[in-house]
Structure 1
Amino acid sequence: MVKIAPYGTWTSPVQAADVAAAGGGPQWVDLHRGRLWWAEGRPAEGGRVALVRDGRDLLPPPWNLRNRVHEYGGRPWAVLETPEGDRVAFTHWDDQRIYLFDPADPDPVPITPEPERRHGYRYADLTAGPGGTEVWCVRETVTGDARTDVRRELVAVPLDGSPARVLAASHHFMTGPRLSPDGRHFAWIGWDHPRMPWDGTELCVAEVGSDRHRVLAGGPAEAVCQVEWEGDALLALTDPDGWWNLHRISLDGTAVNLAPCREELGGPMWRLGQRWFAPVAPGRYAVLRSGALAVLDERTGTVTDVEVDLPWWSAQLAAHDGVLVGAAAGPRAETAVVSLDLATGELTRFTPSEVAHAEYLPTPVERVFQGPDGEVPAYLYPPHNPDFAAPEGELPPYVVHVHGGPTGRFSPVLDLELAYFTSRGIGVVAVNYGGSTGYGRAFRERLRGQWGVVDVNDCAAVARALADEGTADRARLGIRGGSAGGWTAAASLTSVKTYRCGMVAFPILDLAGWTRQGGETHDFESCYVEGLVGPLPQAADRYAERSPVNRVDRLAGPVLLLQGLEDEICPPEQADRFAAALAGTGIAHAYLTFAGEQHGFRRAETIVAALQAELSFYGQVFGFTPLGVPVLELRR
């Protein structure tokens, strides 16, 4: 029998511990000699990343396959065919060194030196060098005390522990090298400040043993995001026409678009080693059309969606003999390691994708709203619980979910974090505001110079539209986000009166500090704000005016602030200042910090605590009493 109870007070079997358990998931899926390998986050094991082959762990705790390159990390492992047999090279989080082991008898030994400074060397995007005697990769070297004191090179690391040799140092940022099948050339992607890799990059190629390289594609307004060899030519995802399409590029620089289309087949290169395409047969390629699986047919020049139970795939595609492997998810299915036989359509799951309590999961509704600068795509997650209904006439509270990046996007896959709220009677709408990827360069560049304006206005337009149409309670609108999403949440709360409250996690709050000059962010993004807001010193007034830390007196309502204490991307200094400014203002707030957490929360106990605090926070602000969670203490 359906019970009548106010929104927010519904009881649900979807618990915070369930959300935490799902907080890891597969990553870096690959094939080697027909065997399936992947890495897997383990929230219950302190957030470590394990290495798995054919469903079995190869390394016990405390081995942790992560690295700090760009602070977001890159591909942390590679299987090498050596004269002695297969070996695995990987990066270990604790010391950032590369280790080597025999998968038949795992006993890792370091093959890179221990630096004088902790994490003084970092390595990522590992791949096999020629002859199976070296690992080729990106190496970061910390050169000073500032967060931006970092140098990068492409290096060859001998498996016998001998000193690494430099292969190339063409740009301040580079992807790992890709060796040609004949062993004569290698290719990589490079870029320099102030550009980000989705702004403009260069595709470079050099002869092995040479210290000179040529640029074959890319430039200040063209972003190559993936490159692979195909015989003596290169396949590259690049966007000279404003859309990431797949091109074949010869060594003389001649480029051919294999299927011209106004579709995004690539994505933002936040982590080194991502793969948005994989060859599956001569002239046929698995691609991701804004995250959805498709097949590009060079002969017909078409890109066709693949009808499959799990349509949304992560950028980690690999294929062999027409079988595609990767990590895939659906609107009501968690991300799973899968293989897909493209000839038969047979999908095989190697990790679970179904979740308990399926009847309590929301189904996303794709919507398009009108914002000040054009259309705003979004996904609506209405409150849903088969055991409850709200009293007649009551409208539900709604929370705008803001993705990070800001050069990111939200995809309509199962997210138990959102189900935690919707199954208790709190609606969520996830907004792909101007600046999001998946809609072409022009949409992405709506945010240039307008961060804190376009994103804020787009989110507010969606929230107000839901209230205007009677979907959401206008008096109970909230906003939530982490990282750049935390910036938009905080900027919204201090510039528009649309929201009653907001949750702000590991955010940017002070633009001037989040720069190379300010010293409060890492090297990778230290010039990002120049494109998002404007160059310094010319735009200094704009930086000060838009920064939430300078507008605490304009807060529209209470705020919950969450912060990891080891965060090098959005360090706690900014959240500390914001919290200090809130003290004594009379604005209800809470500031929770978590030891041992970096950017984004990985530990089960942190995820549980943060989620329960957020639910209690909404209850206190929106006027309901959620059941089964500790009461969050709000200060004024």
Structure 2
Amino acid sequence: MRGVCPSVGHMPHTLPYGSWPSPISAADIAGGSPRIDGARFVGADAEIWWSESVPAERGRTAVRRRRGEDDDVVLPAPWSARSRVHEYGGGAWTTTDDGELLFVEGSDQRVHRLTPGGEPVPLTPAARGMAFGDLTFAEGPSGALLFAVRETQGDSRVPARDIVTIPLDGSAADDPSAIVSVVAGSDFLAAPAPRGDRLAWIAWQHPDMPWDAAELRVGRLGADGTIAEHVVLAGGHTPAGPVAALQPEWTSDDELVFSADPPAPHGTGRWNLHRVRLDGLQATPPEPILADDADTGGPLWNLGARWFAPLEDGRIVAVRTHGSDELVVVDPESGAAEPLETPLSGGVLVRDARGPRVLLSGAGRLVPSGLWLLDADARTLSAVRGGVPPVDPSWLPGSRALTFQGPEGDVHAFAYPPTNPDVSAPEDELPPYLVLVHGGPTAHVSGELSLAVAYFTSRGIGVLDVNYGGSTGYGRAYRERLLGRWGIVDVADTATAARGLAAAGLADPSRIAIKGGSAGGWTVLCAVADTDAFAAGISRYGVADLRRLAADTHDFEARYIDGLVGPLPQAEPLYVSRSPLSRPETLRTPLLILQGSEDPVVPPSQSEALRDALAMNGVPHAYLLFEGESHGFRGAETLVRAFEAELAFLGGVLGFDTPGVPALPLD
């Protein structure tokens, strides 16, 4: 193992680990750092608008704006800007040049237009099974246009998708034919980028996921508003190997900048910035702007994600990721990248740019998540929303990057030690640890400050956040380590990290628990079934049966498991042998199971079958079903109950008191 956790200084009071009093409550997590879903500069005055989830209002997504020193609400309750395209949505709102809000209403997926202070006016029909996302406003040759990715659920289970233009006069609210289908013919589309009479976009086909192989395309808009022909500029399945293109951005009428990860000899296997020059639809070969052993890009789980933004003077502000994030200013002509000194290091996205000013969302080791305003010339960064610790920083742990040697190579993780300014533990006691495994599984963590982590560390429970093989942020080779081996590599890497932490004398090996949600929940269940590294497990809407997942999940992930395990029906024996529910006799570790009643990705039936297997084995467990919650908890009451239940469960199983939270009876 390389790296050492920072130590906690001497404290005036002594209490066992796990039972330390803390000012950080579960309610603080629910109402703490805002979840920023988007931001942009609006109008001639460059007002800052953003969207954020409001847990106290059933998790709706509000749009707000900064006017002078004050904030006000643009999209009031009960309206919610949330898309369901590709299930995970994204790009649910944009604005016109004169400051009108264009948004997707979460409840019915209709697009609306709102003048601040007025009432929303529908722009699309009340059609069941029709959803929109990746809204993009543009002034075209024939006037203003609203582009969007449309998803239409017909009689078939498989939705159709196209990029459309939606008239802004409201005519399509009663006449669906007024919506123009610009381009179709792909299983999935994203990132419509109009410029004059041309449109660039990203497309991919089953069984690929967008991080496997995705093409950058450009076509010419005809007089009828549709694209009759297009060319592929980059990405897809190439002779050298698969390439995933991301985020086309026009820097002039004849130049596109984008991110892609071509393998050697044409690239680094990392998402690096590239550009092409166009004459009509004729383009030069992609030219790398910056060949770097780091990623400017990530998994396209949500539409509208951006990792870089061109500035008006030609420079590019970009996120550079290798485990943690950093911001750089890139000169496209020289390929030089100048680092920007900021506290941001995790989950950083570039939301918009105007002049030298850039809107960012993200967090850092010492600052919580927020919306930030960067001046790329002055090199200043200020918080617009969030970004301020809700408690004294002495209660908040800084993370340390650790690397462990696993059976497949390096395993990357971030450790957060128990941190409390008022209490210490007995000298002969080692702390319990909670090992976190992220979802996806194609995702990553960056070691940023988190109230959800501090909730545990301030009580004397260390946290280890693991980027197992298959995680992004370390290049395609690390990401593809999981191909065909989901439930094996992720489990081995996570167990390696847990055992390495204990071997270094940093954790009590008999009191290490594991927690994860969705795909992370799958790793939790496989880890407690197949290893002896963990004394307890917490699964939030975790996958327990691969065949049920393949049968029940939505179209975006319908072929995801083809790559992670194998295609059906040929690989069915693997689906059976790896699924914990196929071998319930291996489930002998205490578990807490948390589930949403309206989850379309992992329906309650999986969690209930898991509960029944634990009961049959006589294993201590608890099952909590949250009514109205989907895949990922949003409501404040749900978040409070979930975190308090997790703390009480850990105390009950690992043997420490948990003052201030209700006891959790185990069956």
**Which bracket does the TM-score occupy, shorter chain normalised?**
over 0.9
Q: Out of 188, 193, 206, which is 1:178 matched to?
A: 193
Q: Out of 244, 255, 275, which is 1:223 matched to?
A: 244
Q: Out of 30, 54, 66, which is 1:42 matched to?
A: 54
2:297 is aligned to 266
Q: Deviations over 1:15-37 (max 9, x none)?
A: 11101112642221111232211
Q: Out of 319, 328, 332, which is 1:288 matched to?
A: 319
When the two structures are superposed, what TM-score results if normalisation uses the length of structure 2?
0.91
2:266 is aligned to none
* Structure 1 residue identity aligned to 2:88: Y
* Structure 2 residue identity aligned to 1:288: V
Deviation at residue 569 of structure 1 after TM alignment = 1.9
Q: Check conservation: 1:29, 1:316, Cα contact below 8 A.
A: no
1:493 is aligned to 528
Q: Out of 53, 73, 82, which is 2:89 matched to?
A: 73
Deviation at residue 337 of structure 1 after TM alignment = 1.5
**1:72 match: secondary structure:** coil
Q: Out of 147, 158, 163, which is 2:167 matched to?
A: 158
Distance 1:556 1:249, change over 3 A: farther
Q: Check conservation: 1:175, 1:188, Cα contact below 8 A.
A: yes
Deviation at residue 416 of structure 1 after TM alignment = 0.6
Q: Does 1:20 align with 2:30?
A: yes
Distance 1:71 1:507, change over 3 A: same
1:549 is aligned to 581
Q: Deviations over 1:258-279 (max 9, x none)?
A: 1111211111111111110101
Q: Does 1:357 align with 2:368?
A: no
Q: Check conservation: 2:347, 2:363, Cα contact below 8 A.
A: yes
Q: Out of 188, 191, 196, which is 2:201 matched to?
A: 188
2:40 is aligned to 30
RMSD of Structure 2 on Structure 1 (CA): 1.5
Moved more, 3-12 or 282-291: 282-291
CA distance in structure 2 between the partners assigned to 1:108 and 1:442 by the alignment:
47
**2:577 match: secondary structure:** helix
Q: Check conservation: 1:332, 1:413, Cα contact below 8 A.
A: yes
Q: Does 1:59 align with 2:71?
A: no
Extract unaligned runs of 5+ from structure 1. Answer: none
2:3 is aligned to none
CA distance in structure 2 between the partners assigned to 1:412 and 1:305 by the alignment:
19
**2:217 match: secondary structure:** strand
1:233 is aligned to 255
Q: Check conservation: 2:42, 2:99, Cα contact below 8 A.
A: no
Q: Out of 414, 427, 430, which is 1:395 matched to?
A: 430
Q: Check conservation: 2:525, 2:580, Cα contact below 8 A.
A: yes
**2:644 match: secondary structure:** helix
* Structure 2 residue identity aligned to 1:42: V
Q: Check conservation: 1:496, 1:556, Cα contact below 8 A.
A: no
1:144 is aligned to 155
2:412 is aligned to 377
Matches within 5 A, 1:535-614: 535-614=567-646
Q: How many residues are treated as equivalent by the alignment?
A: 621
Deviation at residue 134 of structure 1 after TM alignment = 3.1
Q: Check conservation: 1:28, 1:316, Cα contact below 8 A.
A: no
CA distance in structure 1 between the partners assigned to 2:612 and 2:398 by the alignment:
40
Q: Does 1:366 align with 2:401?
A: yes
Distance 1:620 1:154, change over 3 A: same
* Structure 1 residue identity aligned to 2:210: P
CA distance in structure 2 between the partners assigned to 1:175 and 1:540 by the alignment:
32
* Structure 1 residue identity aligned to 2:60: R
Q: Out of 157, 161, 169, which is 2:184 matched to?
A: 169
* Structure 2 residue identity aligned to 1:49: T
Q: Deviations over 1:277-297 (max 9, x none)?
A: 101254421111113212222
Q: Does 1:321 align with 2:355?
A: yes
1:463 is aligned to 498
CA distance in structure 2 between the partners assigned to 1:22 and 1:122 by the alignment:
30
Moved more, 193-202 or 276-285: 276-285
1:246 is aligned to 273
CA distance in structure 2 between the partners assigned to 1:420 and 1:348 by the alignment:
26
CA distance in structure 1 between the partners assigned to 2:189 and 2:144 by the alignment:
22
Deviation at residue 353 of structure 1 after TM alignment = 1.6
CA distance in structure 1 between the partners assigned to 2:292 and 2:89 by the alignment:
31
1:114 is aligned to 126
Distance 1:311 1:399, change over 3 A: closer
Q: Out of 16, 25, 31, which is 1:6 matched to?
A: 16
Deviation at residue 384 of structure 1 after TM alignment = 1.0
Q: Check conservation: 2:468, 2:494, Cα contact below 8 A.
A: yes
Q: Check conservation: 1:27, 1:316, Cα contact below 8 A.
A: no
Percent of residue pairs identical: 44
Which 4+ runs in 1 deviate beyond 4 A?
A: none
Q: Deviations over 1:315-369 (max 9, x none)?
A: 2332121111121322121222211111111222212322223211111111111
Q: Check conservation: 1:23, 1:602, Cα contact below 8 A.
A: no
CA distance in structure 2 between the partners assigned to 1:571 and 1:144 by the alignment:
22
**1:215 match: secondary structure:** strand
Q: Check conservation: 1:313, 1:326, Cα contact below 8 A.
A: no
Q: Out of 543, 558, 564, which is 1:526 matched to?
A: 558
Q: Check conservation: 1:274, 1:315, Cα contact below 8 A.
A: yes
CA distance in structure 1 between the partners assigned to 2:452 and 2:430 by the alignment:
22
Q: Out of 618, 622, 634, which is 2:650 matched to?
A: 618
Q: Check conservation: 2:554, 2:600, Cα contact below 8 A.
A: yes
